[in-house]
Amino acid sequence: MMALLADMGQWLRPYQYQLALAIIATLLVLFGNDINRWLKKLLSGQHFVVRLVVFVVVCAFGYGLATVWLTALLAQQLAKIPNLYFMPSCLLAFIVLGLFAQKQRQI
């Protein structure tokens, strides 16, 4: 069984960056509404133009920058996981994200 897990981890290893991107994108989808709601509350007393500019900057640059930076950071952390535990770790991460999405009524 351990040899099979190690082989599957080695097979998944070239897709490490894509797996990290999928995890980060899922997190941004799950928490995007909360972030936008927090920004809306923070900027509620501001002029419309200020709210619009901040929203555009956060959505266009903030989420994009977070995606690129956090994906690289997560991919580096995934690289530290031995092949034996790589596939179970990725599977567990997606299961936890799915359960959290279910709890938040996202799915």
Give the pTM. 0.86
Q: Is residue 87 part of a domain?
A: yes
Q: Is residue 43 part of a domain?
A: yes
- What pLDDT sits at residue 97? 96
Structural domain boundaries enclosing 43: 18-103
pLDDT higher than threshold 80 for residue 24? yes
- What pLDDT sits at residue 11? 93
Q: How many residues does the chain have?
A: 107
pLDDT higher than threshold 90 for residue 104? no
Instruction: Output the CA torsion sign for 9, 14, 19, 20.
Output: positive
| Residue 37: CB atoms within 10 Å | 10
Of 91, 100, 96, 99, the closest CA to residue 19 belongs to 91
Q: Is residue 10 part of a domain?
A: no
Q: How many domains does the chain have?
A: 1
pLDDT higher than threshold 90 for residue 30? yes
- What pLDDT sits at residue 36? 87
pLDDT higher than threshold 90 for residue 105? no
Specify the higher pLDDT residue, 58 or 24.
24
- What pLDDT sits at residue 69? 96
